[in-house]
Amino acid sequence: MADFRKETHGAGSMKGVNLVVIAYDNRVAKKDDVITTHYLDARIHPEDRRAAGQTTLALVSKKDEKSPSGYNNSARYSAGQFEAIKEAAGDNVTDLTKEDGTVVGKIYGIKADLLVSNGDVIANTKTLEASEHSVLPTPDGRDIRARIFETMNAAKAAREAAKNASEPAVEVEAAKGEPVLVGAGGVEASADEPELG
């Protein structure tokens, strides 16, 4: 689940958040053949200021054995709330497709305050407005899901690099009995590397 702590993002960290709302056509509940509930996967837009440094942009992340990823990122929204999301998104919407191009839903770009409901962080649909960040594919063809994963992967790589850089170099005995400087992660350091010497 994404981090919205004010210590990290400042005051108002859950106000006016640009969101990507992924809506699969088949993730709904019906009563008498009428859709009553939508299970929507909302994520911080990768261009929103709160996306920086986040290893996950999902508002909800619950362990789920049935999910291919092992996690369920969906929260419940009523049919009325979903209609409000579609209206707020306007033309900031694109097809949600499988790898073969089959359309399985829609992706909407909105902006909203966030609130906690039944343990899930959700968009407050009473505060919806248009997002200034597009969910449409970029001119080079990268879709919004690829951009989300790029942002998360960059944050993971940066955290890993920072972790490795903060591990102190340690001396280990070489085969000839001479100490060898080993850098973070157990990689032998070169004598040419001033930052390790």
> Taking all residues of the chain, what is their mean pLDDT, rounded to a whole number?
85
Residue 37 has a pLDDT of 97
Residue 167 has a pLDDT of 64
Phi-psi map region of 86: left, alpha, beta (phi>0 left; psi -120 to 50 alpha): alpha
* pLDDT digit string, tens, across residues 135-149: 999 999 899 999 999
Question: What residues pair up with 74 in beta bridges, in sequence order?
Answer: 41
pLDDT-derived band of residue 71, with 50, 70 and 90 as boundaries? confident
- pTM for the model stands at 0.79
Enumerate long-range contacts of 84-93, CB under 8 Å, 24 or more apart.
84/125, 84/128, 85/21, 85/40, 85/110, 85/123, 85/125, 85/128, 87/128, 88/112, 88/128, 88/129, 88/130, 89/21, 89/130, 89/131, 90/130, 92/130, 92/131, 92/134, 92/135, 92/136, 93/135
Q: Which two tokens stand for residue 119?
A: 């343990």
Are 20 and 109 within 8 A, CB to CB? yes
pLDDT-derived band of residue 26, with 50, 70 and 90 as boundaries? very high
Of 29 and 169, the one with more pLDDT: 29
